[in-house]
Amino acid sequence: MYRNFFKRLIDIFLSLLVLTILSPILLVSALAIKVDSKGPVIFKQKRLGLGGKEFYIYKFRSMCVGAEKSGVYSDNNDKRVTRVGNILRKTSIDELPQAINILKGDMSFVGPRPPLTYHPWPIDEYTAEQRRMFNVRPGITGWAQVNGRKAVEWNRRIELNNWYVDNISFLLDIKICFMTIFKVFTNADNENVGETVVKETVNK
């Protein structure tokens, strides 16, 4: 009941609350991005969501326009990250526009982070076991994010995501939210430490 009804109901209520209460922060962030660098305020990117279907995820733009052409990994010294973008990333404010994705039904507050359509690998290269992570809506935060985040290799991330799919509950979501708040305030595991895809271990 929680997984199929109440979780969605909570998502709708909280996303509306976030967009309303945090509207001043959203507005200031948008203005700061516009003043700081050329380009759109919102960064849209194709991701894989529920059922492996593609959707556009929304974020505040934290990099210069065209940054993706230089690769998907970034660290605290990445020159592609703008001055305002650096602040947005450290505070995770860049993720707030995803409240719109939640309201639309693309995402949930808690769930596996939606991967890129081509990274760590295309959808048709996921094994049947790995695809189970797409049985729930992707989230802004998730079990993999509070258990290593960007420091975890992708095969392990998917295992953690599948564990969440098997154990999803209201209490688990609350636990993940509190663990996420701690991660944000300490900025823990928020930097890529290198290539996080071990291709030799992928079973195709």
Encode pLDDT of 78-137 as tens digits.
789 999 999 999 999 999 999 999 999 999 999 999 999 999 999 999 999 999 999 999
Token pair in block for residue 39: 């380009």
Classify strands 42-48 and 139-141 as parallel, antiparallel or unpaired.
Answer: unpaired
Q: Per-residue DSSP letters for the chain?
A: -IIIIIHHHHHHHHHHHHHHHTHHHHHHHHHHHHHHSSS-SEEEEEEE-GGG-EEEEEEE--B-TTGGGG-S---TT-TTB-HHHHHHHHHTGGGTTHHHHHHHTS-EEESPPPPBSSSSS-GGGS-TTGGGGGGS--EEE-TTGGGTGGGS-HHHHHHHHHHHHHH--HHHHHHHHHHHHHHHHHTTT-S--S----GGG---
CA 1 vs CA 136, 169, 175, 189: distances in Å: 14, 10, 19, 33
- pLDDT tens per residue, range 161-200: 999 999 999 999 999 999 999 988 887 655 555 556 665 4
Phi, then psi, of 116 in degrees rounded to 5:
-65, 160
CA distance 165 to 154: 16
Task: Indicate the range of 16-20, 46-50, 65-69, 121-125 predicted with least confidence.
Answer: 65-69
Number of Cβ atoms within 10 Å of the Cβ of 111: 27
The answer, yes or no, to whether residue 69 has pLDDT greater than 90, is no
Q: Per-residue pLDDT tens for 35-45?
A: 999 999 999 99
CA 64, chain centre distance (Å): 19
Q: What is the pLDDT of residue 67?
A: 75
Q: What is the pLDDT of residue 66?
A: 76
**Which of the pair, 66 or 91, is modelled with greater confidence?**
91
Greater model confidence, 74 or 65: 65
Between these two residues, 101 and 64, which has the higher pLDDT value? Answer: 101
Whether the pLDDT of residue 159 is over 80: the answer is yes
> In sequence order, what are the residues at sequence separation of 6 or more whose Cβ sits closer than 8 angstroms to the Cβ of residue 155?
198, 201, 202
How big is the chain, counted in residues?
Answer: 204
In this predicted structure, what is the pLDDT of residue 198?
63
What gap in Å lies between CA 1 and CA 19, rounded to an integer?
Answer: 26
Mean per-residue pLDDT for 29-39? 95
Which pLDDT value is given to residue 35?
95
Average pLDDT over residues 151-169: 96
What is the per-residue pLDDT for 201?
Answer: 45
Q: What is the pLDDT of residue 88?
A: 95
Structure-token pair, residue 77: 């010294």
